Amino acid sequence: MSDASIVAARPPGATELVLLFHGVGASAADLLPLAEAIAAVRPQAFAVSVDAPHPSGLGRGREWFSVLGVTEESRPPRIAAAMPLFRDTVAHWQREGGIGPDRTTLVGFSQGSIMSLESTQSDEPLAGRVIALAGRFAQPVRRAPAAVRYHFIHGTDDPVIAAHFSAEAAEAIGRLGGSASVDLLPGLGHGVDARAAKLALGYLG
């Protein structure tokens, strides 16, 4: 686990935990403004922008798994190899805050969303809510745990991860009896703008 994770807020007696996971080639600092915005509207939230564990193969920032030469076939095993450390990281912050999965929200951008979403496909989901910004599942949705609420926020002009991945995932979760919403934002590329941030903050309520 990287020591560069940033605690944006740790109020006494925090009743919820919000963990933010950045994209490949970025760092915890990139999502700190969103973490601080969350802390401002959720004063009882223990909010942490988590730094990914490995130096990125892109030559800058951090990553959970390498995207160099990644394909649809190679992505799932790379994620599977990274998932134990991801789960351990979430569990670490839950212990730090004394807060369980039912009061934990994972907010991910891009690769951070992929890890957050895929973590819900195990027998024991890590969180009660996942907010996926410009993300996707690595594989078709296999399960939709009743205890997890999914919120997909995606720009229609995203050239890195196409918005249809979010729309299709939300539809699949609904077919499986789960809870999912999807917001497709016209004109937004692979990023988080004021509209996306406002939606993310709203889903924390």
Residue 49 known to be catalytic: no
d(CA 141, CA 179) in angstroms, rounded, equals: 13
Cβ proximity of 67 and 59 under 8 Å: no
Residue 63 CA neighbour count, 13 Å, CB half: 15
Give the C-alpha separation, 18 to 75, whole Å. 26
| 13: CB partners within 8 A, 6+ apart | 44
Query: Which token pair is 74?
Result: 């190679």
Q: Per the residue annotation, which of 2, 66, 181, 190 is the catalytic one? A: 190
Q: Which of 30, 158, 166, 183 is catalytic?
A: 158
Q: How far apart are CA 32 and CA 70, in angstroms?
A: 28
102 among known catalytic residues:
no
Told to judge if 154 belongs to the known catalytic residues of this protein, a careful annotator would answer: no
Indicate the SS3 state at residue 103: helix
d(CA 143, CA 160): 25
Q: Counting runs of H as helices and runs of E as strands, what totals does the chain give? A: 5, 9
Residue 139 has which token pair? 């594989």
Q: Which of 110, 113, 119, 166 is catalytic?
A: 110
Active site residues: 110, 158, 190
